[in-house]
Structure 1
Amino acid sequence: MPLGFVFGIPAPLLIAVWPAANGCFPLRAYGPFIAAIDHSFMLPGPVTTCVAVSTGFAMVRII
C-alpha cells in the first residue's frame, strides 16, 4: 500500500483493490493450491475476491 501512494494511486482505489492484494487466490503460488486447482472448493476464493474488488470500485464511484 505505501508503494501505491508513491506511484500516485488515489487512496480510494487502493482501498478498492485491497481484497485482491490480501490473499493468495489470484496467484496460486504454493503447493497445496497447485495440487487443489481442479477441486470445487477452490471456486469460492476467486469469486469472492472478484466480487469484493468490484464492490470496492462501485463504492469508490458512489462515495
Structure 2
Amino acid sequence: MIAWMRHQTTAYDSMVIPRVKGKRREVRRMLAARSKELLRQYRVDHVASENCPLMKALTMSSDSK
C-alpha cells in the first residue's frame, strides 16, 4: 500500500534523486511517513477534502477500469 501511494500520490517517479548511497532509501522513508500520516487520518474517520492526493489517486484508478 505504501509503495502504491508513493507512486500514485507523489512525484516520486519524476524526482531527481542523487546517486548517493542511501539517498533513495531516505526519500522513500520520508514519503512513507507522509503516506502513513494520511492513512492515520482516515483511520480516525477523517473526511477527505477535494484536494486529497489519496482520493485523487483512487478516483483515477477506478476511472481507468
TM-score w.r.t. the length of structure 2 is 0.37
Question: Which one scores higher on RCO, CA 8 angstroms, separation ≥ 6?
Answer: 1
TM-score w.r.t. the length of structure 1 is 0.38
